[in-house]
């Protein structure tokens, strides 16, 4: 079955992946209808075998829906990521323009006012995005903090902190007695969940702050 998506749904599908490897494993190709990508219809094939027939052409059933091959998924994700780094609070229109530019010129759209050497927005824009709960990349990101730890839990917590931060247990003990302590930032969902579960296994709760990939999305949460 060919499920057609709009641009927002397509970006949300990419954002639902954990990382670039997950993108590669989830999608075979991005197909899109002609015209303005802001109003286009997209299809994310599950693999390349579905995306193309034995002759390497777009299947007739896909062509009948007015779709043609747009971009390879990893490239599609790269275009989103470059636009996001240049303008963290980019709109759907901004992403549509960036994707159309790449499709036409095989090059990333350079946003005015961005340092080409750094390729990213200035500190003020990044701070504004963080304040709005928007993370640095196109996937959900998490920040974990150890804010409190009961006396009987400190030893177990320190062992986990030492392993997590690769520091001596003695230093970890001192940090656990002087909370709060940042356990990790800009963590992907899988890594953040594993750390949270590891601490909760000894009864220690960690504070979790989720950062959404795009401004229109809900703040992500862990289990």
CATH of the domain at 191: 3.30.1390.10
Report the predicted TM-score, pTM, of the whole model to 2 decimal places.
0.94
Structural domain for 97, as ranges: 7-105
Same domain for 170 and 82: no
Same domain for 162 and 88: no
Say if 134 falls within a structural domain: no
Say if 221 falls within a structural domain: no
Q: What is the number of structural domains in the chain?
A: 2
Same domain for 148 and 202: yes
Q: DSSP per residue over the chain, as a string? A: ----B-HHHHHHHHHTSSSHHHHHHH-SEEEEESS-TTT--EEEESSHHHHS-TTSSPPHHHHTTTEEEEE-HHHHHHHHHHHHHH-TT--HHHHHHHHHHHHHHSSPPPPTTSBTTTTB--HHHHHHHHHTTB-SSSS-EEEEEE----GGGHHHHHHHHHHHHT--HHHHHHHHTS--EEEEEEE-HHHHHHHHHHHHTTT---EEEEEBSSTTSPPP---
Say if 2 falls within a structural domain: no
Instruction: Yes or no: say if 102 and 81 are a contact pair by the CB < 8 Å rule.
Output: no
Same domain for 73 and 11: yes
Same domain for 145 and 79: no
Say if 192 falls within a structural domain: yes
pLDDT one digit per residue (tens) for the chain, 223 residues: 799 999 999 999 999 999 999 999 999 999 999 999 999 999 999 998 999 999 899 999 999 999 999 999 999 999 999 999 999 999 999 999 999 999 999 999 998 878 766 779 998 999 999 999 999 999 999 999 999 999 999 999 999 999 999 999 999 999 999 999 999 999 999 999 999 999 999 999 999 999 999 999 999 999 9
Same domain for 14 and 100: yes
Same domain for 205 and 146: yes
Same domain for 97 and 147: no
Comparing CA positions, the residue from 212, 207, 196, 70 lying closest to residue 147 is: 207
Same domain for 94 and 155: no
Same domain for 39 and 96: yes
Same domain for 183 and 100: no
Give the residue from 61, 90, 105 where a domain finishes.
105
Say if 149 falls within a structural domain: yes
Say if 110 falls within a structural domain: no
Give the residue from 49, 78, 105 where a domain finishes.
105
């Amino acid at each position: 079955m060919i499920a057609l998506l709009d641009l927002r749904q397509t970006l949300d599908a990419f954002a639902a992946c954990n990382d670039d490897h997950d993108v590669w494993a989830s999608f075979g190709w991005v197909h899109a209808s002609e015209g303005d990508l802001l109003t286009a219809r997209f299809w994310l094939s599950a693999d390349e075998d579905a995306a193309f027939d034995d002759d390497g052409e777009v299947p007739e059933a896909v062509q009948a829906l007015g779709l043609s091959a747009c971009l390879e998924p990893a490239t599609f994700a790269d275009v989103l990521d470059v636009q996001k780094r240049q303008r963290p609070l980019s709109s759907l229109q901004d992403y549509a323009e960036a994707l159309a530019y790449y499709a036409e010129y095989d090059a990333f759209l350079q946003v005015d006012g961005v340092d080409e050497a750094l390729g990213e927005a200035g500190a003020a824009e990044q701070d504004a995005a963080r304040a709005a709960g928007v993370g640095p990349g196109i996937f959900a990101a998490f920040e974990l903090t150890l804010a409190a730890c009961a006396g009987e839990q400190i030893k177990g917590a320190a062992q986990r902190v030492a392993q997590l931060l690769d520091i001596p247990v003695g230093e970890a003990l001192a940090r656990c007695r002087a909370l709060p302590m940042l356990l990790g930032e800009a963590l992907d969902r899988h890594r953040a969940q594993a750390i949270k579960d590891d601490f909760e296994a000894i009864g220690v709760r960690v504070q979790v702050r989720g950062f959404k990939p795009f401004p229109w999305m809900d703040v992500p949460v862990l289990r």
